[in-house]
């Protein structure tokens, strides 16, 4: 079973929007056991869209068209698919009513052009999931099929998971289960991880199942993905669990999370398990740490608060070392919010930097109760990357401190 992706939208060609939808769909097609060897981007032009969709149908069994299902004049995916199918469009008044209800439930009036979104090619079926105003479509073309899904990522994912992937697996006769698990790491390079896992990778290459792959994710670390193919889901999950245990034994505490667990999720969960609360002072990170923590713990059950600004991040006695200043600032964070734990990141004193200080030098401070910990590290990148690297290094230092406590 071969499935091709056609991403639609002139904004994709102009670089105004990055096409993350195609990469997500491609990844999930692979996990579903569906081959996908082509991805195409095309602008909002009838003739070019028709050409791309016909070309995709000519070399694949199924096509997923992503985008162009909105209410405006340049949203013409419905019309193009109808032309490829050789049929007319017919308006589904039940869908019109559903769209109208979505607007009215938000105390808004539906514009008349939203009615266009209910135009369905004759012979096509609306996709059952409809989280937004754009209905998705399943459009048979002989023994092949075109799926049309919106370009809005969460709407697209809902439809692909709910209808498109199950339908593709049914069409392909896929009876095996393919499952994947991502181990998220921080503190080692891709080449370093590959060296540690070299013997295991050689063994798996001979076995063929499961498989290991690396994905560098910038400020989110290196991901090690385990993929297992088995007769059923339970067996695949068992294979993943066994392989994860082995990989953890090889890599140790550089693994900080699994699948979608970010560093802040792991840290907040660990603090919650230990019954500890957290206070923060950040200067050079400019609120990035506060934003990430509050996203995870919006209710403030663990994260008690933060002070942001350089004026708050220069605690300590005159002449104190960078590590001493970081600890003093972390204590100030703990005490200011009546928390059990305080953390801070500081930079060298501009007036008297340490001799031979490398570019990007920062000091990490962690205080847990009456115990203090510090560490220095040099960070790369422009201002935005530097801030994010500082944040994840500080959270990772806290994670390791809590694990050793």
Give the CATH number for residue 101: 3.40.980.10
Q: What secondary structure letter does DSSP report for 44?
A: S
Top pLDDT among 176 and 229 is at 229
Same domain, 223 and 289: no
CB atoms under 10 Å from CB of 312, counted, come to 18
What φ, ψ does residue 64 adopt, rounded to 5°? -105, 115
- Listed residue (154, 208, 229, 219) closest to 184, CA to CA: 219
Q: Please give the sequence-ordered ranges of beta strands (E in DSSP) within 92-201, or none if there are none.
A: 119-121, 125-126, 137-141, 144-149, 177-185
Q: Which residues pair with 367 in a beta bridge?
A: 342, 372
Say if residue 151's pLDDT is above 80. yes
Mean local confidence (pLDDT), 61-83: 97
DSSP 280-337: EEESTTTTHHHHHHHHH-TT-SSEEEEEESGGGS--S-TT--HHHHHHHHHHHHHHHT
Rounded to an integer, what distance in angstroms lies between the CA atom of residue 10 and that of residue 12? 5
Top pLDDT among 357 and 402 is at 402
Q: Confidence class of residue 220 from pLDDT cuts 50, 70 and 90?
A: confident
Pick the last residue of a domain from 172, 202, 231. 172
Question: Tokens in use for 254?
Answer: 């550089």
pLDDT score for 233: 86
Helical axes 288-296 vs 263-274, angle rounded to 10°: 60
Cβ atoms of 102 and 133 within 8 Å: the answer is yes
Percent of the chain with pLDDT over 70: 96
The 10s digit of each residue's pLDDT in 296-315 is 998 889 999 999 876 556 66
Same domain, 162 and 191: no
Rounded to an integer, what distance in angstroms lies between the CA atom of residue 50 and that of residue 31? 29
Same domain, 157 and 195: no
Cβ atoms of 22 and 5 within 8 Å: the answer is yes
Same domain, 241 and 131: no
251: helix, strand or coil = helix
Same domain, 159 and 195: no
Same domain, 232 and 315: no
What φ, ψ does residue 76 adopt, rounded to 5°? -120, 15
Locus of tokens 């579903």: 32
pLDDT score for 313: 60
pLDDT score for 315: 66
- Listed residue (256, 248, 290) closest to 401, CA to CA: 256
Question: Tokens in use for 327?
Answer: 């600890």
Pick the last residue of a domain from 154, 172, 190. 172
How do strand 177-185 and strand 89-91 relate by DSSP bridges? unpaired
Peptide linkage before 266 cis (omega within 30 of 0): no
pLDDT score for 316: 62
Cβ atoms of 247 and 183 within 8 Å: the answer is yes
- Listed residue (28, 70, 35, 251) closest to 78, CA to CA: 70
Q: What is the CATH number of the domain that holds 212?
A: 3.30.70.2860
CB atoms under 10 Å from CB of 342, counted, come to 28
pLDDT score for 379: 86
The 10s digit of each residue's pLDDT in 225-251 is 999 988 888 999 999 999 999 999 999
Q: Confidence class of residue 284 from pLDDT cuts 50, 70 and 90?
A: confident
The 10s digit of each residue's pLDDT in 252-280 is 999 999 998 999 999 999 999 999 999 99
pLDDT score for 350: 62
Rounded to an integer, what distance in angstroms lies between the CA atom of residue 372 and that of residue 326? 10
Same domain, 96 and 210: no
Q: What secondary structure letter does DSSP report for 198?
A: H
Q: Confidence class of residue 293 from pLDDT cuts 50, 70 and 90?
A: very high
Domain tally, the chain: 3
What φ, ψ does residue 3 adopt, rounded to 5°? -130, 135
Q: What is the CATH number of the domain that holds 303?
A: 3.90.950.20
CA distances from 391 to 219, 225, 384, 397 (A): 9, 24, 11, 10
CA distances from 265 to 105, 282, 339, 344 (A): 33, 19, 18, 18
Mean local confidence (pLDDT), 15-39: 91
How large is the greatest C-alpha to C-alpha distance in the chain, in angstroms? Answer: 80
DSSP 63-105: EEEES--SSSTT--HHHHHHHHHT--EEE-HHHHHHHHHHHHT
CB atoms under 10 Å from CB of 155, counted, come to 20
130: helix, strand or coil = coil
Note down the domain range covering 41. Answer: 3-172
- Listed residue (105, 130, 106, 111) closest to 120, CA to CA: 130
Say if residue 74's pLDDT is above 60. yes
Q: What is the pTM of this model?
A: 0.77
pLDDT score for 283: 84
Same domain, 251 and 271: no
Same domain, 134 and 63: yes
Same domain, 272 and 367: yes
């Amino acid at each position: 079973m071969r499935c091709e992706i056609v991403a639609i939208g002139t904004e994709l060609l102009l670089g105004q929007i990055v096409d993350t939808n195609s990469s997500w769909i491609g990844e999930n097609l692979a996990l579903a056991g569906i081959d996908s060897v082509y991805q195409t981007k095309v602008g909002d032009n009838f003739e070019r869209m028709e050409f791309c969709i016909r070309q995709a149908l000519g070399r694949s069994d199924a096509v997923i068209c992503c985008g162009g299902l909105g209410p405006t004049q340049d949203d013409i995916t419905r019309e193009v698919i109808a032309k490829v199918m050789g049929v007319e469009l017919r308006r589904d008044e039940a869908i019109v009513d559903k769209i109208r209800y979505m607007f009215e439930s938000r105390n808004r009036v539906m514009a008349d052009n939203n009615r266009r979104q209910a135009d369905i090619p004759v012979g096509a079926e609306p996709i059952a999931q409809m989280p937004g105003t754009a209905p998705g479509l399943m459009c048979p073309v002989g023994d092949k099929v075109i799926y049309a899904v919106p370009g809005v990522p969460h709407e697209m994912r809902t439809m692909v998971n709910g209808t498109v992937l199950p339908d593709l697996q049914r069409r392909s006769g896929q009876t095996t289960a393919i499952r994947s698990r991502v181990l998220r790491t921080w503190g080692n390079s891709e080449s370093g991880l590959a060296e540690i896992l070299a013997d295991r990778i050689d063994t798996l290459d001979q076995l063929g199942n499961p498989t290991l792959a690396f994905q560098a994710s910038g400020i989110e670390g290196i991901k090690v993905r385990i993929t297992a193919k088995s007769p059923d889901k339970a067996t695949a999950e068992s294979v993943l669990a066994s392989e994860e245990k082995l990989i953890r034994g090889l890599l140790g505490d550089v693994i900080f999370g699994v699948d979608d667990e970010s560093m802040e999720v792991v840290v907040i969960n660990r603090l919650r398990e230990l019954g500890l609360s957290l206070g923060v002072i950040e200067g050079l990170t400019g609120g990035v740490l506060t934003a990430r923590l509050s996203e995870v713990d919006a209710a403030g059950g663990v994260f008690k608060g933060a002070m942001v600004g350089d004026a708050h991040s220069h605690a300590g006695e005159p002449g104190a070392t960078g590590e001493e200043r970081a600890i003093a600032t972390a204590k100030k964070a703990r005490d200011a919010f009546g928390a059990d734990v305080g953390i801070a990141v500081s930079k060298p004193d501009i007036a008297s930097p340490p001799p031979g200080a490398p570019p990007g030098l920062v000091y990490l401070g962690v205080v847990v109760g009456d115990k203090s910990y510090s560490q220095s590290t040099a960070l790369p990148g422009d201002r935005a990357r530097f801030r994010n690297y500082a944040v994840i290094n500080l959270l990772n230092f806290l994670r390791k401190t809590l694990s050793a406590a």
